[in-house]
Structure 1
């Protein structure tokens, strides 16, 4: 097991440089406490806070760092403070940074990385949460320089950088969470509250951590700071495979077939046919569509506005009752283009209505629940109460197309017990039959579709689990990396 060390610096208050960084000291102390369970050597985890966060205090710790961590294999560094750019160079403010001489009394980013390189650790992950500092005479806060960060980390042989926001953006905090939002989700990962991106062996890489933060931070921000934006950044992508935590003891090694990486690509869906004349917005004087074109789509969308809203209102009420979400936990939108959605911390529900191209007097209602937090949530009584009777299919979408012909050949060359497979003549889809399995399983280059009877989401999920048990490799993250990977 790797010998992991950490240096955590929390500059919460300043003598004069700027306002405090809310929750900085508490967040850093909480992460510091969590590190031993995440695979870190407690004797090599250093927390610098309070009166030690002067420039001299921070520089002293950086200078002594090689001795403090004594030939550790990997190093995690977190700095929480305020940051600014002066003449193209980024700086991190210290407790005693003074306004008349900001650069000379702050820590330059190149100096920070130079000190970390002296530790000679094989892997160094540098996490920076530096809200902007307003320079004298300026009206807007300055932040770190993205071009400089990109250049420094790309040139580094062993450092990867994760930064809480883009230049020009704020790094927000939440009074309700009593955390900085980016730091809240960072602690979530290091305490095992999320499995997103964690390998089967419990390893969490910098790339997977950033992917989680880039998804989670904006979602939380929508609930707490309406209309604001905060996009976490990754620098030094060539070193992003560095492992930043070993969560095997917290989560249990061996992984889960239905881990969050797969659950994010799972969607429950249903289709239901209805009459255009039954839509609330339909009028007898209206001309009915005579073809499935753009006019027909807009006609149906206008007629269905009230029905989509009613569907969302009903689902909203049930979701609030069953899961106890607060109003601010839910993001609801009824669009005029025949679509509406409800976003929650655990899932996203969408409903759409479109003209039925096979019968122009009908519409097709499509409902979906996706972006699921985990299998336990799907199996919960609340999920069954709200959605148990809605869906008749589960869709697992591949991040990259699968070669169906190769999949079929592998089965036929070494048939698993109780498995039969049929294939289309063009080898573009295959139907898999499992012994004792009532559902229909179809594999296409884009997805696995489990089709069953409407009424039990848990049954569909269990059938998907049975499928994965037989064909685990079809859902492996290394075989199916995130889109764009």
Structure 2
């Protein structure tokens, strides 16, 4: 049975301090190793060499050992992140024990790695070279020769001869290799061919499009790195994993910590029952103003609770012992019922200290279906115009936006904030908005169907982005 074996090399340190090992090499190779598991290459079929394991002797021994196990129907996938230089047209790898005054004896020829595997089976080389000070950069001519001899082969390089391979300090990633990982992890559908295979051609096309975008975000002079490909570009580097084979859905129902329906409105500070003629309307938003509003709003909060309390008893036939109602001295209050909790609060409006903001919420629902019932509609009508999901772990907003933009679902538009901390999604047929922040998904939109309509919009969102959100049952509010 044909197998794929992976040889992953990251030279991230060296005995001689004059060398400058590529930043984040080890982390990138380890991350690639995990992605290859999704591609059906288990750890037992991977040889990962980093740090002290990249001496000339170990590189020589391990490449011989692993190449000897390959059969003609197998595939060898080699990834190298290392300082590389050329000597009379021969590319040589600087390893952990390479010494400047003994380059011939202590550096390792790249062709020995390539030919040992290429002689046995189809071979793919992912090469992310870094500069080596005053030594000549790697030679493209030798890579062209590699691609023309022996079994089928494909070589993809992070840059052209003489160019830098960029790394990004803020994200601690190597730009080119991070995009390769995104593609193999299934987070970049456009990296695949129409048949779903990630070939050398489709991957190069994706890298040529996305690498400049990525570099533009982090560098002023971003147009100095151009990925290259040599050999048979029709060779498959991987396949787009199914949603269940990727790192999981971007929005996981298991991470939903709380679900709430919310309504907000504003009113004048002077309209609160506790506001006296001797009181002054706040002119700034601060802790003292918050405490003042909380204190004088207690009567109004109690009146709201009394109203809702009685209506709940009438519509749901709750007994007295089924309900617990309490108004606090800080402008908040709640009613606990067997099916859900009702919360109300009054606080100073952060945009205008002469106003107060009323917030009413339903949470801790035993079953979201209660929202669809006539009893709930009779009590709250169309009061609630927001449905909020709080997440236990921060969402990867950039990954979510990228997946939506890659999938291009019909009728969906995404607007990303300049600081990438939030985004707004609009869906054709829904007059409201879907807001995403790191720890919250919020659906806004009032309709004649009340909260049930908000829930339907969420379910529509879930259907449209199949694979983004897990289909597990949603937790109670």
TM-score, normalised to structure 2, is: 0.51
Q: CA deviation at 1:54?
A: 0.5
Q: Secondary structure at the match of 2:242?
A: helix
Q: Secondary structure at the match of 2:155?
A: strand
Instruction: Indicate whether 1:49 and 2:43 are aligned.
Output: no
Task: Tell me how far apart the structure 1 counterparts of residues 193 and 46 of structure 2 sit (CA, whole Å).
Answer: 24
- Trace 1:222-371 onto structure 2 (pairs within 5 A): 222-228=216-222, 229-236=224-231, 239-250=232-243
Task: Tell me how far apart the structure 2 counterparts of residues 232 and 31 of structure 1 sit (CA, whole Å).
Answer: 18
Q: Secondary structure at the match of 2:59?
A: helix
Q: CA deviation at 1:65?
A: 1.2
Partner of 1:26: 27
Instruction: Indicate whether 1:153 and 2:186 are aligned.
Output: no
Instruction: Indicate whether 1:177 and 2:171 are aligned.
Output: yes
Q: Secondary structure at the match of 1:216?
A: helix
Task: Tell me how far apart the structure 1 counterparts of residues 245 and 33 of structure 2 sit (CA, whole Å).
Answer: 21
Partner of 2:63: 62
Task: Tell me how far apart the structure 2 counterparts of residues 210 and 156 of structure 1 sit (CA, whole Å).
Answer: 23
Deviations along 1:191-211, whole A, 9 cap, x unmatched?
111111324553211221222
Kept after mapping to 2: 8 A contact 1:153/1:161: yes
Task: Tell me how far apart the structure 1 counterparts of residues 182 and 75 of structure 2 sit (CA, whole Å).
Answer: 21
For structure 1, the residue ranges without an aligned partner over 5 or more in a row are 136-140, 254-328, 331-344, 348-370, 390-485
Kept after mapping to 2: 8 A contact 1:84/1:90: yes
Deviations along 1:420-470, whole A, 9 cap, x unmatched?
xxxxxxxxxxxxxxxxxxxxxxxxxxxxxxxxxxxxxxxxxxxxxxxxxxx
Partner of 1:320: none
Kept after mapping to 2: 8 A contact 1:91/1:107: yes
Task: Tell me how far apart the structure 2 counterparts of residues 381 and 216 of structure 1 sit (CA, whole Å).
Answer: 18
TM-score, normalised to structure 1, is: 0.50
Task: Tell me how far apart the structure 2 counterparts of residues 4 and 14 of structure 1 sit (CA, whole Å).
Answer: 30
Partner of 1:14: 14
For structure 2, the residue ranges without an aligned partner over 5 or more in a row are 247-396, 417-422, 429-477
Q: CA deviation at 1:64?
A: 0.4
Instruction: Indicate whether 1:207 and 2:208 are aligned.
Output: no
Judged with a 3 Å threshold, the aligned counterparts in structure 2 of structure 1 residues 195 and 252 are, in CA distance, closer, same or farther, namely: farther
Task: Tell me how far apart the structure 1 counterparts of residues 410 and 176 of structure 2 sit (CA, whole Å).
Answer: 24
Partner of 2:124: 125
Q: Secondary structure at the match of 1:100?
A: helix
Judged with a 3 Å threshold, the aligned counterparts in structure 2 of structure 1 residues 157 and 125 are, in CA distance, closer, same or farther, namely: same
Kept after mapping to 2: 8 A contact 1:39/1:246: no
Task: Tell me how far apart the structure 1 counterparts of residues 243 and 2 of structure 2 sit (CA, whole Å).
Answer: 16
Partner of 1:475: none
Deviations along 1:57-104, whole A, 9 cap, x unmatched?
111111101345566621110011001111222111111110012233
Judged with a 3 Å threshold, the aligned counterparts in structure 2 of structure 1 residues 208 and 199 are, in CA distance, closer, same or farther, namely: closer
Give the number of aligned pairs.
Answer: 268
